[in-house]
Structure 1
Amino acid sequence: MTSNDDAPLFTMEELQEEFVETQIDLNGWKVLIVDDEPSIHTVTKLALQSFSFADKPLNFYNAYSASEARSILEIETNIAVILLDVVMETDNAGLELVDYIRNDLDNHDVRIILRTGQPGQAPEYEVIKKYDINDYKEKTELTNQKLNTVIYAALRSYRDITAINRTRIGLERIIKSTSSLLQENSLKDFAEGALQQLAAMMHIDADVVLAESTSAFASKTKEQIKLLACIDHGRASINDRFITHKISNILNTSQIPRDKMVNQEAEFFYISTVGKNELILYLEGANDVLRYDTEILEIFCKNISIAIENIRLNDELKRTQEEIVYSICEVAETRSKETGNHVRRVALYSKLIGEKYGLDKEQVEQLFLAAPLHDVGKIGIPDSVLNRPGKLEGENWEVMKTHAQIGESVLLSSNLPIMEAASIVAAQHHENFDGSGYPRGLKGNDIHIYGRIVALADVFDALMNARCYKPAWDLQQVDALLNEERGNKFDPHLVDIYFNHKEEFLKIHQQYSD
């Protein structure tokens, strides 16, 4: 290879040199060379053999026709740059490949550099105007230095585009998380999305750079560290305990400023004080962080910390609401000499059925909190009826049946969505699928799905456990009754769900036994 940087990219002497391809790091930038002349592949790799960008080398892929390039592009992802000839198996093979990449594959990230030895065949202005390419070069003008410059600029552009895409994905995850706070692990999802967005904002490649680093989002409350999310794509030695220990050391160092971005020895962290708690964003292996506008990053981190705190407060409110619901239920259950575990089991059975039935997460969560209140109307039933041994008949039975309407009336006084759902459950959990139930004699799908689900969950639990008027049944008796009442008392589809997932029902029964 000639040492003159302004010499043509390929010479006869270079073509005669033996090319020995160096070992390329698998995590390097993927460069696809598409040209029907083998010599072009050889000299291109010779010119770029010592090239690196962001401390990563190039990883070359070779295609000697447009059709071969298509096959590679269908398999290999994250190709950063394509050096593309125009004239190959046909006069327009290269341009047709550009159209295929941009339109059929919908790949607008890869940087396409058109190289042609026949500029008259594809005039530069017309090609740039018609096709989505990123650069156009004649092969004779690509000197060693210019080729390195072109590749450097292309990789910088590719890096920035992928960083923007990761930012968009991170934003989408955060927006999705904030709009579904009742979902399980929503706090973890939000924190993980925040970490991914932060990495993208700092041009950290989540697939490559984080393969040798770790990121974490943690909270410190009453001197206890809770890891909200951890992204670890590589080293087995990195685990939650290790990260928590490092974060603990940082949080317990009073000299480190709060609400300021700190970057020291390839460790980036931001400690936010929100209320009485502290939150920390932590990234290990983040070099060059300060090249980005630190003020923007600090604003981002502050906003994320406030959002995390709001989600946590919402979770605390949810837990408080759940505790209040169970406290009310336990009052009613205690009067009827039943255990508080009855309402917990009914709630868990109802949640399980709702999930298998196909209710969305918000509906399942609403049902889970509403189901325990199904018998709250029993607070209005006299003890002489409520705890009367044996089967209730006549006037006593008519009095007992009023607990459904009493519960509905009490719960309807609230405008809270959960209380509205609970009023439906209280009113309808004794309605039968064939219309023979009470208090209104609703039939089939006229009974709200919440009512149909809790009806099955309540009867299953009542049969499986001893009551003042009966001993516990064995499982065979319970199964026989559910089969017998399929389509009569119970929605047939819900009975099928029970039999298909019976082991999960029994696990709940055992875990929360009286």
Structure 2
Amino acid sequence: MEFLFADDDPVMPDKAAASRNAPTWKMLVVDDDPEVVAVTRLALSGFEFLGRKVEILSAHSGIEGREIFNREPEIAVALIDVVMESEDAGLKLVEYIRVQCANHTTRVYLRTGQPGHAPVDRVIREYDIDDYKEKTELTAQKLRTLLYSGLRAYRDITTISRQRDGMRRVILATSDILRTGSLREFASAVLGQLTDLLGLNDSAIYCLVLPASDKSPRAARTLAASGSLVEFADQGDLESLPPAISARFKEALQRRESLHGEHDYVLYHRNHSGQENLLYVELKTEIGVHERELLELYAINVSLTFENLTVLEELQAAQGEVVSLLGDAVEQRRAPSAAHVERVARISHALALSIGLDERAARMILHAAPLHDVGKIAIDDAILLKPGTLDPEEWAAMKTHAVVGAELLARSDREVMQIAAQIARSHHEHWDGSGYPAGLAGEAIPLVGRIVALADAFDSLSTARPYRTRWPDEEIRSYLEAQSGKRFDPRLVAALLGDFGRFVAIRERFPDA
């Protein structure tokens, strides 16, 4: 055969060394004639495409070909004989590849020494193949030409497939970060999705830089970190970061653009309000053009989400301030300048997290808790501020504040207000059923009400009231232990007492003015 004597392209030593380290293109030759397989190997000896050699796999029957396809998912080109153990063994293998394996990426070429068994026109029309050749046609040069063509097609198809898969992963990653509700959650989600998007397991850090104002200079804070950089989470400025990262961040800030390095990537984005967010990814190996394109595409989505989330947080902060102010207005009727509602909200938030609620649920409780006693606006000052014990008629009037507050808050369709209504109605219910207004017991009491009930009691006992003095912390601890399973949810009491010092510290951070 002519192709037995074709010359191979010479391979330079440095090029050969580089190609040894590159992944190979996999080619499968399926033919029941060992000589044909051997000649094919010889003809393609030293063949390279885009700096990568060809690894030739061989099978001597359609059944063996199936086994190899099951074992080797990344075969670029398959050269298949039609007549082997049966007159249509090659055709059955093609059908297996395309239909059962759903493989439409491998470039498939049929060749035959008996063209009468399978007419070319019918085979090309009915089977998903790239070409159909007689064995006598395939000289060494034509075989190489076929392989160049097949590998180019395989490269283009796999590139399109990777881009499509990358787009899908970008969309999924973006949808995940859209479900976050705070900048810190957002930052953590970005780090996780970014490393997953690129198939990396490297270190990363996300930093927010606030614009300077008349009241404060330009400031930075780290929102999240991963890998070997996790110890730098919650840092307050760029100078506290490793010098190399700090320098890269400063370069990005100065140039106002993202930076691609051999060993790192820095995402830069500046929103309309002047806030700049920086994402640093430490790379163990340089990423390719395709991965860079994915990074840039993902960065666009991250930037847009960041801006929207910043606006959302500002709205939530404003809403929280309004709620707190309303709660304060109610509280100040009996204790001017008191920070009771702020402390109850903070303690409730920490308590919710300590029993495993997610950040969003805990934050809802944080925003709703200040309104737990809003119904007291309907209680007469003579009752609310009475220094002594209330008589039965006064006590009956006092207890109405739970229902009044719940009905007032339930008029709103906002989620936070609906939660606040649950809290207002249920935070005086007792675990043993002895509370009011409905005499609910155990888990029939909404969890948000149980949380705020304990936080309210914990803070109230440590605050002087017209009818009693402040309790020492040890007496408060003893009281809560005694009321576990009676007035309060035992699980919540265990969580608070198990980390008593932390809850005391939260309380002390917000003293009465």
Q: Same fold (TM over 0.5)?
A: yes
Distance 1:310 1:262 in 2: 24
Change (3 A) 1:133 1:49: same
User: Which residue of the other structure, out of 31, 39, 47, is the alignment partner of 2:26?
Assistant: 31
Number of the residue aligned with 1:99: 99
Aligned partner of residue 427 in structure 1, secondary structure: helix
Change (3 A) 1:231 1:366: closer
Aligned partner of residue 26 in structure 2, secondary structure: strand
Distance 1:372 1:58 in 2: 69
Shift of 1:502: 7.3
- CA deviation map 1:352-401 (0-9, x unaligned): 5473xxxx875554344323432343455567755778976624432432
Shift of 1:312: 1.8
Change (3 A) 1:95 1:409: closer
Alignment of 1:55-454 (within 5 A): 57=52, 60=55, 62=57, 64=59, 65-66=64-65, 68-69=67-68, 71-73=70-72, 79=74, 81=76, 83=78, 85=80, 91=89, 92-93=92-93, 95-102=95-102, 110-117=105-112, 120=115, 141=138, 143-178=143-178, 180-181=180-181, 185-186=185-186, 189=189, 206-207=198-199, 220-222=209-211, 223-224=218-219, 242-253=244-255, 274-278=272-276, 305-329=303-327, 335=334, 339=340, 340-353=342-355, 355=357, 363=361, 365-378=363-376, 381=379, 394-412=392-410, 414-431=412-429, 437-441=435-439, 451-454=446-449
- CA deviation map 1:219-266 (0-9, x unaligned): 643244567789999xxxxx986455324213324xx7x8xx999999
Between structure 1 and structure 2, the one with the greater Rg is 2
TM-score of the aligned structures, taking structure 2 as reference length: 0.64
Change (3 A) 1:461 1:430: closer
Shift of 1:154: 0.8
Change (3 A) 1:93 1:22: farther
Shift of 1:167: 1.1
Distance 2:120 2:207 in 1: 54
Aligned partner of residue 437 in structure 2, secondary structure: coil
Shift of 1:510: 5.5
Shift of 1:426: 1.0
The aligned amino acid for 1:160 is I
Number of the residue aligned with 2:503: 509
Distance 1:393 1:126 in 2: 101
Number of the residue aligned with 2:484: 482
Number of the residue aligned with 1:51: 48
Distance 2:127 2:505 in 1: 64
Change (3 A) 1:94 1:405: same
Count matched residues.
452
The aligned amino acid for 2:152 is Y
Shift of 1:144: 1.9
Distance 1:42 1:384 in 2: 106
The aligned amino acid for 1:111 is T
Shift of 1:419: 1.9
- CA deviation map 1:439-496 (0-9, x unaligned): 245678875xxx333324523662596455565557686456434x4xxx67xxx756
Change (3 A) 1:287 1:348: closer
**Residue segments in structure 2 that go unaligned for 5+ positions in a row:** 9-15, 212-217, 229-240, 509-513
Alignment of 1:6-45 (within 5 A): 8=3, 28=23, 31=26, 33=28, 35=30, 40=37, 43=40
The aligned amino acid for 2:157 is S
Change (3 A) 1:504 1:248: farther
Shift of 1:158: 0.4
Distance 1:48 1:482 in 2: 81
- CA deviation map 1:258-310 (0-9, x unaligned): 8xx99999989776563434567899967779x99xxxx99997776444322
Aligned partner of residue 484 in structure 2, secondary structure: helix
Distance 2:328 2:457 in 1: 16
Distance 1:113 1:184 in 2: 51
Alignment check: 8 A CA contact 1:225 1:244 kept = no
Shift of 1:425: 1.7
Shift of 1:151: 0.9
CA RMSD of aligned residues (A): 5.5
Shift of 1:162: 0.8
Aligned partner of residue 28 in structure 1, secondary structure: coil
The aligned amino acid for 2:148 is N
Change (3 A) 1:137 1:171: farther
The aligned amino acid for 1:101 is C
Distance 2:134 2:493 in 1: 71
Distance 1:46 1:215 in 2: 48
Aligned partner of residue 370 in structure 1, secondary structure: helix
Aligned partner of residue 33 in structure 1, secondary structure: strand
The aligned amino acid for 1:347 is H
- CA deviation map 1:77-125 (0-9, x unaligned): xx363536466777234532443321xxxx66x4343454467566666
Alignment check: 8 A CA contact 2:209 2:220 kept = yes
Change (3 A) 1:214 1:395: closer
**Residue segments in structure 1 that go unaligned for 5+ positions in a row:** 1-5, 15-20, 198-205, 234-238
Change (3 A) 1:363 1:270: closer
Alignment check: 8 A CA contact 1:29 1:58 kept = yes
Aligned partner of residue 438 in structure 1, secondary structure: coil
Distance 2:24 2:222 in 1: 33
Distance 2:126 2:313 in 1: 54
Distance 2:58 2:504 in 1: 62
Alignment check: 8 A CA contact 1:216 1:231 kept = yes
Identity of aligned residues (%): 22
The aligned amino acid for 1:249 is E
